[in-house]
Every structure is written in structure tokens, then in C-alpha cells.
Copies of this chain bind each other. A is one copy, B any other.
Amino acid sequence: PKIITLPGDGIGPEVTAAAAQVLREVAPDVTLEEHAIGGGAFEAHGDPFPQRTRDALQDADAVLLGTVGGAHDSPWNRLPRHLRPESGLLALRKALGCYANLRPVRVQPGLEHLSPLKPELARGVDILIVRELLGGIYFDGDRRIEGETAYNTMRYTTPEVERVAKVAFWAAEQRKGRVTSVDKANVLEVSELWRRDVQALRDREHRSIHLNHEYVDSVAMLIVANPSRYDVIVTENLFGDILSDLAAVIPGSLGLMPSASLGDGAGLFEPIHGSAPDIAGRGVANPAAAIQSAAMLLRHSLKRPDAANQVDRAVALALRQHPTRDLGGQADTQTFTRAVLRALE
């Protein structure tokens, strides 16, 4: 199998290198091929998603992404929109046809104290957020600034809603069978279509699923006040952006949050933390999320659940024995990675 690695900006190269080491260890038959994306790609090739990177995706089985983007005050943020690092990321998602972003939010037993929530609320949390990733207000439609007025269009079609809902139902069938679909149907027509189509698909093809519908403002409350009530959450792109980042703080470290984006072509796997330019290049970044993303790659793209489980267990062990600095420990990137590799033996 051929895997494209896209290390990107900031700490991306460090954590991607760690994940690549682990991948080579558990799947020695994979070929890894590195390409450019993001701000670095703009510097080198004048494009945050260069043609050479796009071409390389053609025959890839999966993509392992690091992080993209610069500091808050980076000159990259003042480039025309289509040249900014984030545009490279959005173009990558589109090129791969990754319409379903999977974000597991799990509080590891014994690590409840890291959560900003009270331990009794954090304990046992196990949510999967499925975010629609190629539609809504992110892409297409009327979008412009005209003098003193600006417009964006939120748009969804039934096929777009159905394909991502299918992923959520499929995932729930292997979990507790409960799906919460999140919308703002009391205000938005788009949400009315979303709710109608998700419900219809459930009634037609997934009758064993317990489906309910909640408003996005209410979910933002309840995911903090009572996170254990959720199993699988499915929602549109913008709500998913907000809710998945919100939920990601529950385990207490973004360094522990992987993601998978699935769709028509090769899957895209990336840690959800940012590029952390303040600690980049110092070898101290926590690579756990990148390594867990590699585990998701093994599971979803290479269909090697045993190897995936092995990696997940090795990461959990390494986290207990050699916590990184963001977790209050001492381990740097290499120490942690070596601990994972040792646990794999």
C-alpha cells in the first residue's frame, strides 16, 4: 500500500515523523511518500496545495497529514484567501472527496484528572463526532465582500446529507446504536432539510438505530454538562467544526485527539491539534494524536484492525509511563515515540 505523508507546518513534521516510524514498524510493507502542503508549500511552490501533491494522491491508499498554518500573526494570514495555508487543507479534503470527518472523543481510564470537567463527568466519556466535511457554508454558493456587505451561502443537498448520515449510522451500529443529529431546524431551512433527510434514511434503512435530533446551542451546553449522554453525533460542516473542537477539550489534551476523514477516495488522517509554532522544531511536541491517527489509518484505509488496536494499546501504555510535557510529564517527542515502539514489541 502507498501512503502519502504531508507533514505541513509547525510541529507537523515532528509528529508526522513519529507516526511514520510507528507505521513502518507495524506495517513494514507500506511505502511512504512525502509531499508538501500548507504555508511551507506556498513558500516552496507558490501554492498551499501544489500540483505535485495533488498528482501524488492519484494512486494513494491513504494520506497521513501533520498540521497546517502559521502563528496568529503570520504573514501567511494576510495572503489572498486562496493562497493561505487553510485553503490548501480545504482543497486537499475536496480533492480526496473526504465528506465524513470522524472524531473520536474518549477519556482514557486513569486520565480523568486531565479533563477541565469534574472527574465524575469526564469518566467514561466515549463520543464519536461525525462531521460533514465537504458542504455547507464552507464551499461554493454565493460568497463575496461587496463594499460594506458580505455574503456566504449555507447549502446542502439530500445526497450530501445521506452519504454522511450513512457513515454515522454505520459507526453507531458498531457502538451503542444511538445517533444524535445536530441542527438548528428552529431557524434554518438547511437544517429542516438535514433533519428530514437524516430521519428518512433512518426510517428506510437503519431501523435498529435510536436517532434523536437536538439543536446545536443545546448540544453545546449538554456536551459539557453531561457528555455521557452522547454516543454518535452527526452534524453539518460548520456546527461540526465548533462541536468537535469543543468536545475535544474533554479528554484534557488536544495532544490525544486523532481524526479520520473518509469518503470517495483515499482516507485522510490527522491529529486535530494545531501547528503550535511556539514549540515547533524543539522536539517536545506530543506525537500521540498523530500516532493514533496512524492507527485510524490502519483500521479504516488498510483494514488492519489488529495492528490498529496494537498501536492504540501501545500509545495508552506510553502515555502512562512516559507522559509528555502537555500532560504534566517530562517525555519529549522521541522519548515518547520510543516508548510506543518498545510497547509494540
Question: For the complex formed by this chain, how many copies does it contain in all?
Answer: 2
Which of chain B's residues have a CB closer than 8 A to the CB of A32? Answer: none
Q: Report yes or no: A217 in contact with B245, Cβ–Cβ below 8 A.
A: yes
The count of chain A contact residues (Cβ–Cβ below 8 Å) is 56
**CB distance A220 to B245 under 8 Å?**
yes
Q: Which of A45-53, A149-157, A335-343 contacts B (4 or more CB under 8 A)?
A: A149-157
A155 to B118 Cα, complex, angstroms? 39
B154 and A189 within 8 A (CB): no
List, in ascending order, chain B residues with CB within 8 A of A157's CB.
Answer: 148-150
Report B-chain residues with C-beta under 8 Å of the C-beta of A244. 217
Instruction: Please indicate the chain B residues that have their CB under 8 angstroms from the CB of A158 in the complex.
Output: 148-149
Which residues of chain B are within 8 angstroms of A84 by Cβ–Cβ distance? 186
Q: Is A35 an interface residue (CB 8 A)?
A: no
Judging by beta carbons under 8 Å apart, are A190 and B141 in contact?
no
A34 at the interface (CB under 8 A from B): no
A26 to B192, CA, bound (A): 45
Q: Does the CB pair A155–B150 fall under 8 Å?
A: yes
Q: Are B138 and A187 in contact (CB under 8 A)?
A: yes
Asked if A25 lies at the interface with its beta carbon under 8 angstroms from chain B, I say no
Contact A151 B145, beta carbon cutoff 8 Å: no
Q: Does A121 contact B (CB under 8 A)?
A: yes
Q: Mark A296-329, 1 if CB is under 8 A from B, else 0.
A: 0000000000000000000000000000000000
Q: With A121-B116, A242-B216 as given contacts, are A188 and B137 in contact (CB-CB < 8 Å)?
A: yes
Contacts of A109-139 to chain B: CB distance below 8 A: 116-118, 121, 137-138
Nearest B-chain residue to A158, judged by Cβ: B148
Is there an interface contact between A152 and B153, defined as CB atoms closer than 8 Å?
A: yes
Quick check: A192 and B145 within 8 Å, CB to CB? yes
Contacts of A156 in B (CB 8 A): 149-150
Interface centre among A84, A116, A138, A192 (most CB of B within 10 A): A116
CB distance from A264 to the nearest CB of B (A): 19
Question: Can you spell out 12 A-B residue pairs with CB atoms less than 8 angstroms apart?
Answer: A77-B186, A90-B187, A116-B224, A137-B188, A149-B155, A151-B154, A152-B154, A216-B241, A216-B242, A220-B242, A224-B224, A225-B249
- Nearest 6 pairs between A and B by C-beta? A150-B193, A148-B158, A220-B246, A217-B245, A150-B190, A152-B154
